[in-house]
Amino acid sequence: MAHYFNDVSRTFSEYLLVPGLTTKECIPGNVSLQAPLVKYRKGEAPSLQLNIPFVSAIMQSVSDDGLAIALARNGGLSFIFGSQSIESQAEMVRKVKKFKAGFVVSDSNLTPEHTLTDVVRMKEQIGHSTIGVTHDGTSNGKLLGVITGRDYRISRDAMDTKVGDLMTPFEKLIVGKVGMTLTEANDVIWEHKLNSLPIIDEDQNLCYFVFRKDYESHKQYPDEMLDENKKLLVGAGINSRDHEERVPALVEAGADVLCLDSSDGYSEWQADAIRHIKEKHGDDVKVGAGNVVDKEGFLYLVDAGADFIKVGIGGGSICITREQKGIGRGQATAVIEVARARDEYFEETGIYIPICTDGGIVQDYHMVLALAMGADFMMMGRYFARFDESPTKKLKIGNSYVKEYWGEGSNRARNWQRYDSGGHEGLKFEEGVDSYVPYAGKLKDNLEITTGKIKATMCSCGFVDLPSLREDAKITLVSSTSIVEGGAHDVILKDTNN
């Protein structure tokens, strides 16, 4: 006979946090949102830790190198989508690792043989007024000079004048060398009253520019996720089909952590992939696994060697797995059970396995509930798809701006590996939709508002860190009537558009 769960499968919307004593210590400025990303032993620190408990979903419409850079600079981490060629995914990882706060890889470069026409056209297209002049016109060619708006006058100089006759030649440039710190580079800029400082290697090849205007902006990112070489951290999604070829390429490109991307991770395919990666690459290569919704699935992947576990099936805003296949579980119930299993495992073994809640978050307060219920961090797609830094187009529909957003289980993504059931069949039916989300602006601005809400809620509950929140939070079920009570009611709202 089938096994029946007597408890109702519940969502985050069915719960509220009960306030605790707000002490004088409980102010937002004192709240830490640091969270472990990968497993660690009791008494030790995790080798990878998030400064805010946010990671972006392994999706074409969410996580490319642009979003990965923006999120890492703000304390979180992206898993670059794996439903692309190995080469293109590895190149996205490289772009993130090559990015250095303040050290900008030049995307505006010409040769001495180009003309003023090319300079003007490049400035119009890219918007940059500082152009590196290299022997081959590439961003890492031998630096021969720099041309800026101070080197020419459109009203006086002929448009066919060669760049080599207008540029400031290398011999007259003040340059920095690869290996110098950002502080040292800024000291040179201020000492010599420069607007920019080219950074070259020992062979005079251009590597970066450091700009005076960026000096203050670097101080706006105190939570940057950096490795021991001061490079941004980045993750990458993989699958159980081509991991033998994909993982070595991603590791070589510099990926800091990997995650098996599957709608249902409780499978032998995923366990075999984890074991193979660990046997071939050792424990230095960190691999997350999932998704699961119960204790059995959690323990199965932990025993295979997973470094963190993703929780959630069918709860994403563009996911229709429950509708199509009838599998899944309410996200709150799934997180509570897996968190309990995680804690029991920790007590028995002394090894802490972080869990990631994936899906089911509709309101910002759901994030605090998820963290209080035991999630260490959150993976989100819709939330990040709305921002400038996501890879999709911004469109105007009616009077509103939107961004495109599609699921990995949609025909548009054609990511059949994520829904792989073995054998040689491809994607037979969709488990995701193609949609739009309201455009929301810059990631940094929105993330500051969201983390501000989380910190304020934690203060109202009496906590200044996530472990304390998980340990002692008070959570109550709510009725449908109390949900209505929680919003504006029994009033006539003003029309703020007039």
Which of the residues 319, 356, 459, 461 is marked catalytic? 319
Q: Give residue 164's Cα distance to chain centre.
A: 42
The CA distance from 304 to 283, in Å, is 12
The CA distance from 246 to 170, in Å, is 41
What does 484-496 look like in DSSP terms, one character per residue? HHTS--SS----T
Which three-class secondary structure state does DSSP give residue 402? Answer: strand
Which of the residues 342, 382, 418, 461 is marked catalytic? 418
Q: List CB contacts of 196: < 8 A, sequence separation 6 or more.
A: 130, 146, 148, 189, 209, 210, 211, 212
**What radius of gyration, in Å, describes the C-alpha atoms of the chain?**
25
- What's the burial of 180, exposed, middle or buried (CB within 10 Å: 0-12/13-18/19+)? middle
Q: List CB contacts of 313: < 8 A, sequence separation 6 or more.
A: 263, 264, 291, 292, 293, 321, 322, 327, 328, 329, 334, 359
Element (H, E) at 197: strand 196-200
Q: Is 319 a catalytic residue?
A: yes
The CA distance from 342 to 373, in Å, is 12
CB 314 within 8 A of CB 328: yes
Q: List CB contacts of 278: < 8 A, sequence separation 6 or more.
A: 285, 287, 305
The CA distance from 477 to 60, in Å, is 36
The CA distance from 110 to 119, in Å, is 8
Q: Where are the beta strands (DSSP E) in 407-448?
A: 434-438
Residue with tokens 């998704």: 291
Report the catalytic residues.
319, 418
